[in-house]
C-alpha cells in the first residue's frame, strides 16, 4: 500500500510518531510516498526528521499557538483570534489547496493525518475520495469514557472543537494512550499504544547520572531555568529548545547547557539523566515513562494539562505551573516504580497499527 503522511510540525512529538509509523509500514512491505509537514515561520523542521523519514518532504503554513504577553503559557483565545487574521487565512487557504494537489498527484491508498487540521479541511472542502485515518493522543478528547475529556470552560470547549476539526474526513481515529482502555466504536475511536521509535524500544538500558534533563517548546521558560541554575551551581542541567538565535549548543552557565533539538543526543541524555522536566508534550513523557525517569511537568496549555494529569496518576510525575526545580529535587528522592506494565503495553504497538492501517483497510 501507498501512504501519504500529513504531520503537525509543532514540537517534536508528531514528527517522531511519523518516523515510528513509517518504519512499521516499511517492515510490512508498504511505502510512504510523500510527507507534508505543517509549520510556522518560528519553527524549523528538525534535521533528524528530514534525515530519517526516507520520503520526499514538503511543508505548508499551518496554524500556530499564541502565547500570553510576557508569559510562558498559551492563550487559546489569542490563538484563535491570531489565526483568523486575513493574512493567515489566505495562507491557510493556499495550504489547503496544496494538500489537495499532493493527494491528487501521489494518489495514496490512505492518508495518515497526525493531528493536522488543514488536511481534514482539504479532504472535506474538495470532497476528495481517499481513505484517511487520524493518529494522535488528542483524539482521546472525543472518547466518551476518557476521564480528562470533559474539561469545562472556554479553553476546554475550544480544544474539543480543534480536535473535531482535525478529525474531519477521517474514516477512523487511532487515539494514542499511556494505558489500555476500551475503544469508542460509535465515534470510530480505537485505543492504541504510543508510537515510540526503535531507537527507544531497542535500547532499554538506562542509568542515573548526576544531571537533570529538560525540554521546552516555549523559549520564554529559559529565563526561569537560568535564574534557578545560578542559585544552584552544583546541579547540572541540559535543556533542549528550538531557538535559532543561539548556536547548536550554548553554555548559558557553568552548570546549564542549552541544546537545539537533536534527537540522538536527546535520547542519550534521557537514558542517563536522573530526572526530566518538560512542558508535558505527549511523546517525550512516553519516553521518560519507558525509562522510568522521575518527571516534573509544567504544561503551557490545556492539552498539556491533560497529558500532565494523566501522567501524574503515577507516582513518577509531579505537576507544577513553573520551573520549581527545588520541589523537583525533593521529588527525585521519593519517586520510583517499575515500567514493566507500560513496556508491555508499548510492545503491542506494531501489531495494533498493522491491524488498524493494513488489515482494517482491506476489511480483514
Q: Give me the CATH number covering residue 328.
A: 3.40.50.2000
Residue 68 has what DSSP assignment?
Answer: P
How far is residue 363 from each of residues 29, 296, 355, 358, 360, measured CA to CA in Å?
18, 43, 10, 9, 5
Residues 329 and 355 in one domain: no
Residues 33 and 90 in one domain: yes
Residues 59 and 99 in one domain: yes
Residue 258 has what DSSP assignment?
Answer: E
Residues 259 and 318 in one domain: yes
Order across the sheet with 256-260: list the strands.
249-253, 256-260, 236-241, 211-215, 275-278, 295-297, 317-319
pLDDT in the model for residue 312: 79
Question: How would you write the pLDDT of the chain (364 residues) with one tens digit per residue?
Answer: 999 999 998 767 899 999 999 999 999 999 999 999 998 776 678 888 999 999 999 999 988 766 655 555 666 667 777 667 788 889 899 999 999 999 999 999 999 999 999 999 999 999 999 999 999 999 999 999 887 767 667 777 878 888 999 999 999 999 999 989 999 999 999 999 999 988 888 888 889 999 999 998 777 788 889 998 998 999 999 999 988 889 999 999 999 999 998 888 999 999 999 999 998 888 889 999 999 899 999 987 777 888 888 887 766 789 988 888 888 888 886 655 557 788 899 999 999 999 999 877 665 4
Residue numbers of the domain that contains 154: 2-193+348-359
Residues 334 and 352 in one domain: no
Residues 177 and 238 in one domain: no
Residues 163 and 249 in one domain: no
Does 75 fall in a domain?
yes
Residue position matching grid coordinates 513518577: 316
pLDDT in the model for residue 107: 97
pTM: 0.89
Exposed/middle/buried for 357, CB within 10 Å: 0-12, 13-18, 19+? buried
Residues 313 and 185 in one domain: no
Residues 237 and 335 in one domain: yes
Residues 155 and 230 in one domain: no
Does 364 fall in a domain?
no
- Within its chain, how far is the Cα of 59 from the centroid? 18
Report the first-to-last Cα separation within the chain, whole angstroms.
15
Residues 204 and 326 in one domain: yes
Residues 164 and 235 in one domain: no
Q: Please state the domain count of the chain.
A: 2
Amino acid at each position: 500500500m501507498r501512504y501519504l503522511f500529513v504531520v503537525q510540525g509543532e514540537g517534536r512529538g508528531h514528527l517522531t510518531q511519523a518516523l515510528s509509523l513509517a518504519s512499521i509500514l516499511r517492515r510490512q512491505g508498504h511505502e510512504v510516498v510523500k510527507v507534508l509537514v505543517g509549520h510556522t515561520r518560528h519553527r524549523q523542521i528538525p534535521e533528524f526528521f528530514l534525515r530519517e523519514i526516507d520520503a520526499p518532504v514538503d511543508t505548508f503554513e499551518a496554524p500556530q499557538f499564541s502565547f500570553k504577553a510576557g508569559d510562558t503559557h498559551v492563550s487559546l483565545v489569542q490563538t484563535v483570534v491570531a489565526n483568523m487574521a486575513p493574512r493567515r487565512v489566505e495562507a491557510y487557504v493556499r495550504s489547503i489547496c496544496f494538500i489537495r494537489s499532493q493527494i491528487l498527484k501521489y494518489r495514496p491508498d490512505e492518508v495518515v493525518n497526525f493531528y493536522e487540521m488543514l488536511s481534514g479541511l482539504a479532504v472535506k472542502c474538495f470532497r476528495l475520495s481517499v481513505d484517511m485515518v487520524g493518529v494522535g493522543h488528542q483524539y482521546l478528547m472525543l472518547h466518551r469514557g476518557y476521564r480528562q475529556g470533559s474539561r469545562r470552560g472556554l479553553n476546554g470547549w475550544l480544544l474539543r472543537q480543534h480536535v473535531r476539526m482535525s478529525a474531519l474526513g477521517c474514516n477512523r481515529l487511532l487515539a494514542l494512550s499511556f494505558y489500555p482502555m476500551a475503544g469508542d466504536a460509535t465515534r470510530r475511536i480505537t485505543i492504541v499504544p504510543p508510537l515510540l521509535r526503535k531507537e527507544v524500544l531497542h535500547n532499554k538500558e538506562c542509568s542515573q547520572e548526576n544531571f537533570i534533563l529538560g525540554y521546552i517548546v516555549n523559549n520564554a521558560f529559559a529565563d526561569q531555568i537560568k535564574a534557578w541554575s545560578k542559585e544552584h551551581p552544583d546541579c547540572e542541567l541540559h535543556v533542549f529548545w528550538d531557538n535559532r538565535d543561539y548556536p547548536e549548543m550554548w553554555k548559558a552557565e557553568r552548570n546549564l547547557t542549552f541544546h537545539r533539538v537533536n534527537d540522538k543526543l536527546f535520547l542519550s541524555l534521557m537514558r542517563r539523566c536522573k530526572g526530566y522536566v518538560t512542558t508535558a508534550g505527549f511523546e517525550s513523557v512516553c519516553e521518560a515513562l519507558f525509562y522510568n525517569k522521575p518527571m516534573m511537568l509544567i504544561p503551557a496549555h490545556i492539552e498539556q494539562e491533560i497529558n500532565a494529569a494523566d501522567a501524574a496518576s503515577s507516582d513518577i510525575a509531579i505537576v507544577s505551573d513553573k520551573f520549581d526545580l527545588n520541589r523537583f529535587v525533593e521529588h527525585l528522592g521519593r519517586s520510583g516504580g517499575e515500567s514493566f506494565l507500560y513496556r508491555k503495553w508499548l510492545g503491542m504497538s506494531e501489531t495494533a497499527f498493522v491491524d488498524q492501517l493494513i488489515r482494517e483497510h482491506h476489511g480483514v
